[in-house]
Homo-oligomer: A and B are copies of this chain.
Amino acid sequence: MVKAGIIGATGYAGAELARLLLGHKEVEIKWYGSRSYIDEKYAKVYGNMFQLVEDTCLDDNIKELAKQVDVIFTATPQGFLAGVLTEEILQDTKVVDLSADYRLKDVAVYEKWYQIPHKSPQFLAEAVYGLCEVNREKVKKARLVANPGCYTTCSILTAWPLVKEGLIDLNTLIIDAKSGTSGAGRGAKLPNLFCEVNENMKAYGVSTHRHTPEIEEQLGYALGAQATINFTPHLVPMNRGILVTEYASLREIRQADGSMALPSYKQVKEAYDKYYKDEYFIRVLEKGACPETKWVEGSNFVDIGFQIDERTGRVILMGAIDNLVKGAAGQAVQNMNLMFGLPEQEGLRLVPLFP
């Protein structure tokens, strides 16, 4: 039995971790950390947990916690983990960090986009970027996993095979992303009130959103070179779900007859198959199908569809995830499974909820 602690257990991602771990037969939650609700019953903070969780929220003493558990999940604001992490802690326990602290390898990039100093850059080299389908083998050996952001998970996985295979020009990539409101967290802020969000839509963080460098870095690895892209997030009136629509110019590739031509539907499909054929959590839809966020709700799936536009020479990629599952807690559990040698899908064979 893996003993787990959650720091930041009362945010939406923390609560989703609790939901998933309660259904995971190899894990026991030992610690519900929450600075905002110290000494309150967890089930008071999340009424869905009534009679399912009897624990009380605790303060977040990570050093003490590390001695008690096998793995710590930190679902905390940027800068928290970097401010408290020590070698001693990592010798006591494994850590899956749902914040951005160890996602970007370049501390200067981190400090520029997040506007805070990084307090423990010494762990950056060791930290594994926990995009399981891409870094599976590294995750298995990791002590410290940087769990990818919600937008980034969806954005990267949707484009990865095409970048890797050189089918698109990465510098032309434009990602138009739409997210449900749980991604904005449980903070009591006016823009997240029901009446402000409901029956409303808007873009935000245009050209400045922090997931941009994360996508650029990872897709840069796929390409083997640096590139700049556009990423624009939007807020839509729903609880869960991220949909990305990605646009890129196709690159001519050598065809069977030796000529150069834009890739066909079949060739793009083959690229996806090459990387994702055996991936349980990635579902490349049938020709012509467009992913819908509702088809993945509550599950760890990534649904992907694409359409070639011959008129413009572009391909339009579409990806859908549940931002709290594959975009946060689900992927964190998937990483934990890998780190502890458990079956990767344990606790995550969730059938999407419809309607």
Is A355 touching B314 in the complex (CB atoms < 8 A)? no
A312 touches B230 (CB 8 A): yes
Query: Does the CB pair B237–A355 fall under 8 Å?
Result: no
A299's closest neighbor in chain B, by CB?
B48
Contact A241 B199 (CB under 8 A): yes
Bound Cα distance from A23 to B190, whole angstroms = 27
* Residues of B with C-beta under 8 A to A199: 180, 199, 238-241, 293-294, 297, 355
A234 to B305, CA, bound (A): 14
Proximity string of chain A (198-230) to chain B, C-beta cutoff 8 Å, 1 when within and 0 when not: 111111101100000000000000000000111
Q: Please determine whether B314 and A206 come into contact, CB atoms closer than 8 angstroms.
A: no
Interface residues of A in 164-212 (CB under 8 A from B): 171, 174, 176, 178, 180-182, 186, 188-190, 192-204, 206-207
Q: How far is the CA of A176 from the CA of B352 in the complex (A)?
A: 27
With A193-B188, A201-B292, A290-B203 as known contacts, state yes or no: A351 contacts B52, CB within 8 Å. Answer: yes
- Report the bound CA distance from A229 to B313 in whole Å: 10
Interface string of A77-110 (1 = CB under 8 A from B): 0000000000000000000000000000000000
Q: Which residues of A, 256-314, contact B by the 8 Å Cβ criterion?
A: 283, 285, 289-299, 303, 307-309, 311-312, 314
Give the residue among A206, A299, A318 with the most B Cβ atoms within 10 A. Answer: A206
Tell me which residues from 1 to 50 in chain A have a Cβ below 8 Å from any Cβ of chain B. Answer: 12, 15, 19, 22-23, 46-50
Contact A238 B283 (CB under 8 A): no
Bound-complex Cα distance A195 to B50 (A): 19
- Report copies per complex: 4
What B residues does A247 contact at CB under 8 A?
Answer: 174, 176, 230, 232, 247
Residue of B nearest to A44 (CB): B286
Q: Contact between A311 and B207 (Cβ–Cβ < 8 Å)?
A: yes
Cβ–Cβ contact A243 & B238, under 8 A: no
CB nearest neighbor in B for A293:
B201
Residues of A within 8 A of B (CB): 12, 15, 19, 22-23, 46-52, 171, 174, 176, 178, 180-182, 186, 188-190, 192-204, 206-207, 228-230, 232, 234, 236-241, 243, 245, 247, 283, 285, 289-299, 303, 307-309, 311-312, 314, 316, 318, 320, 349-355
